Amino acid sequence: MAAPARAPRSRDKEVKIIVDSTGIKVDPDTFHISKSRHQEVWWTCNVDFTVKFTETPFHDIEHNKKYPYSGLVRREVPAGTGKSFKYTVEAGPHRLDPDGQVDL
């Protein structure tokens, strides 16, 4: 039997992936997480999805419905620089390229 899904915590920052007949969007458009508060991104969607980073602030470059949490920001990633981390979201035939930032 599979382990139950982890319940969201107060430090998790949800990014909603919204797929409908018009296409795909994310809310918020740009995620902001705090490194000092040990925040993680939690992607949610009503259909299967894949999130892929080319340059990631996290340990893993790919996330999906089975593994929706980013994990903590890597130690060597500087915080508060305003650097954007672009990623691609794919859900069905839809594709979107939003971004995220690591704050202090």
pTM for the model stands at 0.90
In the prediction, which pLDDT does 84 show?
A: 96
Q: What is the band of 8 on the pLDDT scale with cuts at 50, 70, 90?
A: confident
Buried b (16+ CB within 10 A) or exposed e, 42-51: bbebeeebeb
> What number of other Cβ atoms are within 10 A of residue 73's Cβ?
24
In the prediction, which pLDDT does 3 show?
A: 52
Element (H, E) at 13: strand 12-20
Domains assigned to the chain? 12-103 (2.60.40)
Q: Shortest CA distance to 48 belongs to which of 94, 3, 13?
A: 94
How far apart, in whole angstroms, are the C-alpha atoms of residue 74 and residue 72? 6
